[in-house]
Amino acid sequence: MSKTTPGTLLLSKAGIAFDLHPYDYDPDAPRVGLQAAEALGIDASQTFKTLMAEVDGKPVCVVVPSDCEVSMKKMAAAFHGKSGQMMKVPDAERLTGYKVGGISPFGQRKSTPTVIDEMAQLYDIVYINAGQRGLLLSIAPDDAAHFLSAPFADLTS
């Protein structure tokens, strides 16, 4: 497994501190984020999943705790929209350049407006996908938000 992804290259170039955490990815896991947290022995609420969605038909990215579900209503409101829905897998992969199960908010092929769930602010470090299946990175939430120009908002139901 390569430990270099478009996201890790950009974070390194920007001088953002992060650490990599490889784990054994299980393609049959019902919830990849929870499986990653378990494999690494870290709290699922500190492990964040990256989801690609659409608000009023426009692509967006949300980063939420792995043990929570996104509220479509709250997500739409966070992007000042009316309605939200999850993006189809082929569209998400084409837009980001990453495979589902390995989508990172960092280094996506096309820059997309991003919001991070406010629960990230409860931690000094959060774990987010680094850009490939079986590889998380740990980063300070404020560093992630600053790098992504992403506000924090309540996104979960």
Question: pLDDT tens digits, the chain, 157 residues: what are they?
Answer: 568 899 999 999 999 999 999 998 888 877 878 888 888 999 999 999 999 999 999 999 999 999 999 999 999 999 999 999 999 999 999 999 999 999 999 999 999 999 999 999 999 999 999 999 999 999 999 999 999 999 999 999 8
Q: Is residue 11 part of a domain?
A: yes
Q: How many domains does the chain have?
A: 1
Find where tokens 């953002």 sit. Answer: 16
Q: Is residue 93 part of a domain?
A: yes
Q: Which residues pair with 51 in a beta bridge?
A: 62
CATH number of the domain that residue 72 is part of: 3.90.960.10
Domain carrying residue 19: 6-153
Number of neighbours of residue 14 by Cβ within 10 angstroms: 11
Please tell me what DSSP assigns to residue 60.
E
Chain centre to alpha carbon of residue 73: 19
Q: Is residue 1 part of a domain?
A: no
Nearest to 63 by CA among 96, 26, 25, 27: 96
Nearest to 40 by CA among 112, 103, 130: 130
Instruction: Kindly report the pTM of this predicted structure.
Output: 0.94
Number of neighbours of residue 22 by Cβ within 10 angstroms: 14
DSSP-based three-state secondary structure for 31: coil
Find where tokens 């850009």 sit. Answer: 131
Q: Is residue 146 part of a domain?
A: yes
